[in-house]
Structure 1
Amino acid sequence: MSTSKNAAAADGVTIVGRKTRTRGHWAIYLCLIVFCLIQLVPFWLAICQSTKPSDDMSATLIPRFNDIQWSNFTDAITQGGVFRAMLNSAIVTLFTTVLVCLLGAAAAYPLARRQTRGNKLVSSGILALMMIPSLSILVPLYSFLVQIGGVNSYWGVILVLTASNLPLSIFLYQAFIKSIPPSIDEAGMVDGANRFTVFFRLILPLLKPVTATVVIMTSVGVWNEYALSSYLLTDQSMQTIAPRVASFFSANSSNLGVGAAAALICALPIVILYLFLQRYFIEGMVAGSVK
């Protein structure tokens, strides 16, 4: 009899524990849903505003799907030069991302494989560089670019953005490479490969998850970069997305619908990129944290 009572009590405790865990899971899901809705509020406001005519200053939060003002989007393209700015941003983002991935992986490989005192000092210096804001060196940087002719040029802003994004890239690649067994390097060198061959043919193909993370973080940062680009790209034909949308919005402050339409058009490519690479982004963020 006592045994059956103990079993019933254990079953009751198990059921209560399951209910508690279920309630905890629902609470977590509810918090995540609320957080996602808060993050989507600016996009929803932009959609609502982009569908209104220029003389509508109401604060309604319901888009006019039955009477969408497509002229807002056409004006943003023709008058705002959004496509030209997107082309400039695409060129800068593409070359910057490729350079950051290649240089970051190449620099992180020896730092991860050789734990010497000098390499540890270099790693500490890279972490310190991540703490320095880019705008803190704007005056000497701008003066230097003026002297070498890098202002209002693709290569000038690409070099600057590559240098500002390299520390985080090296940090992520270094953490990931440390989780790769050194026996892979040793096996390649036993077969007669040198360090360069081992890196490019054995290690680099294994860096796909963290590379996706670096690609997303770098491309999003460069695509939305405003502070440095607004100083280095003053020519309207060379402006990237953020400075161009800001100047166009300030010139059309009385027509919020056109500004909202321009912002939506410019945000669309980077959102699509993230949707395609989000799985690799999550894998790369947690890679190297646990061996």
Structure 2
Amino acid sequence: MLEKPYSFKVFGVEAIAILLALIFIAPFYFVFGNSVKSFAELLTNTASLPTSLHWDNYSRAWEALNFPLALRNSFVITVLSNIGLVFISSMAAYRLVRHPSRLNRVLFSLFVAAMVIPFQTIMIPMVKLFSWLSLINTIPGIVICYMGLGVSFTIFLYCGFIKSIPREIEESAVVDGCTPYGTFFRIIVPLLKPMTVTAIVLNSLWIWNDFLTPLLFLQKPGLQTIQTATNTLFGQYMKQWDLALAALVMGMIPVMVFFLCLQRFVIKGIADGAVKG
């Protein structure tokens, strides 16, 4: 089979792709490059390469923010929220898809409609409600908050994927004596693995990087996440950019590694979920 000749059109497409890649990589260059500069050099030569590497920015940020505590809080909140979202959303989506009654269609429409409601429009009523329930400044409180905010999107993902699963598989399990719960947990849940990983990755990126929700619901210093702890470096008269950028890098690394390790499952889950979704 003859290869197509390398044309000017192909060269133009590749050049545009490289240019777009450089544009998207540029923020990472500024964050990583400036995180090892001195404060004075950072302010005067932001776009240049560092003349000397100040790795002590990381150790100073580690101590100033009590970074292990903030890392633990972010990790616990992200893990617990994902467990709740996956458990509730998968079961709800299975019921909505496999029992297409008028009520379930209305419920699915409400879940989809809830995805377009900005958080800023409901945050004040939510803070008042959670305060009344004594859930402010508690890990369970913010986990419940994230579960409520993320359940619509997660159900939407699962519904599209479950539609691509043949009903014959479940019917065979019922013939073999499986109960409805046994069919779901033994047959459906393993098949949902690509979409489950996709939901976990997407929700983790959102929860880990979220700033506004922890700022509203976790106001005690011992409950700060990485994002809210980093915000303490910006005061009225002083902004410690050198430490803040180092903290941002340390906060980015776990979620970046997590995403890179699971990105193939994300692509597969989205592609499979779009078959009949």
Q: TM-score, normalised by structure 2?
A: 0.92
CA RMSD of aligned residues (A): 2.1
Which of these residues, 223, 232, 240, is aligned with residue 238 of structure 1? 223
- Correspondences of 1:37-48 after superposition (within 5 Å): 37-48=22-33
Q: What's the counterpart of residue 257 of structure 1?
A: 242
| SS of corresponding position for 2:33 | helix
- Correspondences of 1:115-264 after superposition (within 5 Å): 115-250=100-235, 253-264=238-249
Gap runs ≥5 in structure 1: 1-13
| SS of corresponding position for 1:55 | helix
2:44 maps to 1:58: yes
Count of matched residue positions in the alignment of Structure 1 and Structure 2: 275
CA distance in 2, matches of 1:30, 1:187: 53
Percent identity over the alignment is 28
CA contact (8 A) 2:195 2:273 kept: no
**Structure 1 residue identity aligned to 2:162:** I
CA contact (8 A) 2:233 2:239 kept: no
| SS of corresponding position for 1:248 | coil
CA contact (8 A) 2:30 2:46 kept: no
Q: What do the CA deviations read for 1:66-105 (whole angstroms, capped 9, x no partner)?
A: 7311221111000122221111000000000111111111
Q: What's the counterpart of residue 109 of structure 1?
A: 94
Task: Say if 1:258 and 1:25 are closer, same or farther in 2 by CA, change over 3 A.
Answer: same
**Structure 2 residue identity aligned to 1:121:** V
**Structure 2 residue identity aligned to 1:58:** T
Tell which structure's C-alpha radius of gyration is larger: 1
CA distance in 1, matches of 2:237, 2:261: 34
Task: Say if 1:78 and 1:252 are closer, same or farther in 2 by CA, change over 3 A.
Answer: farther
**Structure 2 residue identity aligned to 1:273:** F
Mean Cα deviation higher: 76-85 or 157-166: 76-85
Gap runs ≥5 in structure 2: none
What is the deviation of 1:32? 3.2
CA contact (8 A) 1:82 1:266 kept: no
Q: What do the CA deviations read for 1:126-151 (whole angstroms, capped 9, x no partner)?
A: 10111112221122211111122111
Provide runs of 4+ in structure 1 moved above 6 Å.
none
CA distance in 2, matches of 1:119, 1:28: 46
CA contact (8 A) 1:45 1:61 kept: yes
